[in-house]
Structure 1
């Protein structure tokens, strides 16, 4: 299964930390929605999913109350066993196996530095999509490669494109060596 890691970073390389005072860029959110619709799914960490679900305005929710329509959503959590409206998986491999059984050929990893790092540690990422937001932040999380697993991991630039609003997207293939 092809796995795409999708993230918005700041211009200085940190994960963009969205909040009331600094909402996510609409261009990046639109791009996420397009990727999720194309794959028909996304995998997300529990905290990120709860933030996403709580931030969605009521008019964008479907009849069942979900802002995500008919997407297959997998929440990665070692503590939770179930959550209404989503599948809960305890590991990256379990999440991918579930989506594969549902007939998906591509999985979208959408949020949480811990989630992204877990997939990278298991060498389960085929492609990375970074949306670079035109902001600098003095705090934030980073993608971290475990030095016991990788001292260096090559990527190959596949595409760059402006999304508007100063957001630039970089798409990379991850070396599988």
Structure 2
């Protein structure tokens, strides 16, 4: 199964943090919806999922298989809850999916990256600089490198640029 990590980054490379002063760009959200519909699923952390739900999330995702990764969460109506990234991938593979979309937040992204479970990364770079932010990491403790191959680069509009990379496993 192909795994695609989808994220929005700031122009200075931080993992973009949404707030009332800095809402997500419509172009990035529309792109995410397109990728989620194409995959038929997405994997998300519990806090990010709760944030989506709190903002009326789920509307365009009624037909999409949502998998929430949480070590502590109990059952959440309408979604599948698993305890690890590998368990999320196993669930989607058993359901016959050919692609898994990993959508957020930073802890989930870093967990999948750190375990070497990502085949491709899609980064939507938002036109904003952020003072203090979170980073995407392949290793929290060491200076390790992983070379990637640029597959595509395109503007999405409103200053958002999308970079798509292949990641060697």
Q: TM-score, normalised by structure 2?
A: 0.95
Give structure 2 stretches of 5+ with no counterpart: none
Deviates more, 1:118-127 or 1:138-147: 138-147
Of 49, 56, 78, the match for 1:85 = 78
Matched residues, number: 169
Match of 1:124 in 2: 117
CA distance in 2, matches of 1:150, 1:85: 40
Match of 1:32 in 2: 32
| Deviation of the 1:93 alpha carbon | 0.6
RMSD between superposed Cα atoms in Å: 1.5
Match of 2:51 in 1: 51
* Counterparts in 2 of 1:10 and 1:53: CA distance versus 1, 3 Å: same
1:54-100 Cα shifts (integer Å, max 9, x gaps): 1127xx83xxxxx5211000000000131111000100110001111
Of 142, 162, 171, the match for 2:155 = 162
Of 96, 114, 122, the match for 2:89 = 96
Give structure 1 stretches of 5+ with no counterpart: 62-66
* Counterparts in 2 of 1:147 and 1:49: CA distance versus 1, 3 Å: closer
* Counterparts in 2 of 1:150 and 1:40: CA distance versus 1, 3 Å: farther
Of 128, 132, 141, the match for 1:139 = 132
Q: TM-score, normalised by structure 1?
A: 0.91
Runs of at least 4 residues of structure 1 off by over 2 A?
A: 147-150
CA distance in 2, matches of 1:128, 1:40: 17
